[in-house]
């Protein structure tokens, strides 16, 4: 990364590589493998090969537009963000001191909120209002974007919630599936049954850098049902 600040590799500048790293951490397979390959190429001074695009979905997407505004509306609406563009550079320095390149990335990710119109009915709580049924909160132990500590805090803040932890990597159990998590989700959604307190699903179905099988499948190492932890 220090070299890229002064000597880009083709179109791979420092900023473009930081963006690629942050986005590449969200999905274990094939995201982490592709990211590792790109970084290895850049380390050796080679322009990375383009990552093949996934095949189109079998069923047409009923909401085909997935523009930047969708994520921005959530990001800007979920938290207070500075309205003065001049504060972002000092914020970047503080964030970089705490979290390096990731801090820089997330500081500027909210810069679009400077001029984003806020809804007059922006909800600010309370969050502990009782609900008709208990809520199931799922947290990923090694999530680079929404950490497990935040899931624990949210479960405590809600009036009646149960935390289910996945001992897995990348962003959410939705993007990085676990048969164990899915089994608990099904019991909750169909039968209203919560997992026991302290339940942890021990692994996701596809671990990082899984070895492809000759048949074209992935050697996952399992993904069995949960054990419990205190």
Tens digit of each residue's pLDDT (9 = 90 or more) over 99-154: 999 999 989 988 889 988 876 677 788 999 999 999 999 999 999 889 899 999 99
142 and 193 co-located in one domain: yes
Q: What is the CA radius of gyration of the chain?
A: 20
What is the chain's mean pLDDT, rounded? Answer: 86
How many structural domains comprise the chain? 3
- CA–CA separation, 112 and 118 (whole Å): 12
How high is the pLDDT of residue 210?
A: 84
Taking residue 145's Cβ as centre, other Cβ atoms within 10 Å add up to: 14
Is residue 125 situated within a structural domain? no
Could you tell me if residue 38 is inside a domain? Answer: yes
Q: pLDDT at residue 215 above 60? A: no
Mark whether 106 and 31 lie in a shared domain: no
Q: 24, 34 in Cβ contact below 8 A?
A: yes
pLDDT tens column, 49-81? 887 666 655 666 666 676 778 888 888 888 788
pTM for the structure as a whole:
0.79
Range of the domain at 165: 135-228
Q: Is it the case that residue 212 has pLDDT exceeding 80? A: no
Which residue, among 15, 203, 210, has the nearest Cα to 104 in the 3D structure? 15
Is residue 105 in some structural domain?
A: yes
Does residue 25 sit in helix, strand or coil? coil
Same domain, yes or no: 192 and 146? yes
- Tell whether 74 and 37 lie within a shared domain: no
Residue 128, helix vs strand vs coil: coil
- pLDDT at residue 62 in the model: 66
Q: How many CB atoms lie within 10 A of CB 144?
A: 15
Q: Judge whether residue 216 has pLDDT over 70.
A: no
**pLDDT computed for residue 117 by the predictor:** 84
Handedness of CA 11, 17, 19, 24 (dihedral sign): positive
In a domain, 172, yes or no: yes
Look at residue 19 and tell me if it is in a domain. yes
């Amino acid at each position: 990364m220090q070299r890229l600040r002064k000597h880009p590799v083709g179109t791979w500048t420092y900023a473009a590589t930081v963006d690629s790293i942050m986005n590449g951490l969200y999905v274990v397979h094939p995201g982490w493998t592709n990211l590792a390959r790109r970084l290895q190429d850049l380390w050796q001074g080679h322009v990375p090969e383009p990552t093949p695009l996934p095949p189109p979905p079998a069923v047409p997407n009923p909401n085909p537009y997935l523009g930047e505004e969708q994520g921005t509306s959530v990001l800007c609406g979920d938290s207070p963000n500075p309205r003065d563009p001049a504060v972002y550079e000092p914020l970047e320095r503080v964030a970089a001191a705490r979290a390096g390149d990731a801090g820089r990335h997330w500081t500027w990710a909210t810069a679009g909120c400077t001029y984003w119109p806020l809804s007059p009915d922006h909800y600010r709580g309370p969050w502990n209002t009782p609900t008709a049924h208990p809520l199931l909160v799922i947290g990923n132990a090694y999530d680079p974007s929404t950490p497990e500590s935040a899931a624990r805090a949210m479960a405590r803040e809600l009036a009646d919630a149960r935390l289910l932890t996945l001992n897995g990597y990348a962003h959410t159990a939705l993007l990085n599936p676990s048969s164990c998590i899915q089994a608990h989700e099904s019991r909750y959604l169909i039968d209203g049954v919560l997992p026991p307190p302290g339940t942890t699903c021990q692994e996701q179905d596809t671990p990082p850098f899984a070895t492809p099988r000759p048949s074209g499948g992935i050697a996952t190492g399992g993904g069995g049902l949960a054990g419990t932890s205190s």
